[in-house]
Amino acid sequence: MKSLIIFNDPPYGTERLYNGLRLAHSLIKSEHDVVVFLMGDAVISAKKGQKTPDGYYNAEKMLKRVAAKGKVLLCGTCMDARGIDESEILEGAERSTMDALAKEVETADKTLVF
């Protein structure tokens, strides 16, 4: 089964990204195909070099786990609006488009929005 998970919120300040990525990890363990699409402030989640306090979750590390076995796509327009260049995002994540998101929605068995 293919699951598409769309995130809109920033990586820190709410726990939506954290909980959604926990779900993504569980789905991957259950051998689901997982695509994560980051848009709005969620694109900041894929920025390289995040430093969080000990014991606090790290969005970059959590997304790397998804990218290793699934797909992580970022809204290019949202990246541009926040001044994020492709060289600043984690390995395995890709700049993407709304057209690509539309195709992922068409082919997904389930679409979840956080």
- Cα–Cα dist 43/93, whole Å: 10
The percent of residues above 70 in pLDDT, for the chain, comes to: 100
78/50 Cα distance (integer angstroms): 19
Confidence class of residue 17 from pLDDT cuts 50, 70 and 90? Answer: very high
**pTM for this prediction:** 0.95
Confidence bin at 107 (pLDDT 50/70/90): very high
Instruction: Please choose, from the candidates 33, 45, 34, the residue with its C-alpha nearest in 3D space to the C-alpha of residue 7.
Output: 45
Mean pLDDT of the chain: 97
How many degrees, rounded to 5, is the angle at CA 34 between CA 10 and CA 14? 20
pLDDT digits (tens, 9 = 90+) for 32-87: 999 999 999 999 999 999 999 888 999 999 999 999 999 999 999 999 999 999 99
pLDDT on residue 55: 87
Strands (E), the chain: 2-7, 33-38, 71-75, 93-96, 110-113
CATH number of 2-113: 3.40.1260.10
The whole-number pLDDT of residue 61 equals 96
Nearest to 90 by CA among 63, 55, 52: 63
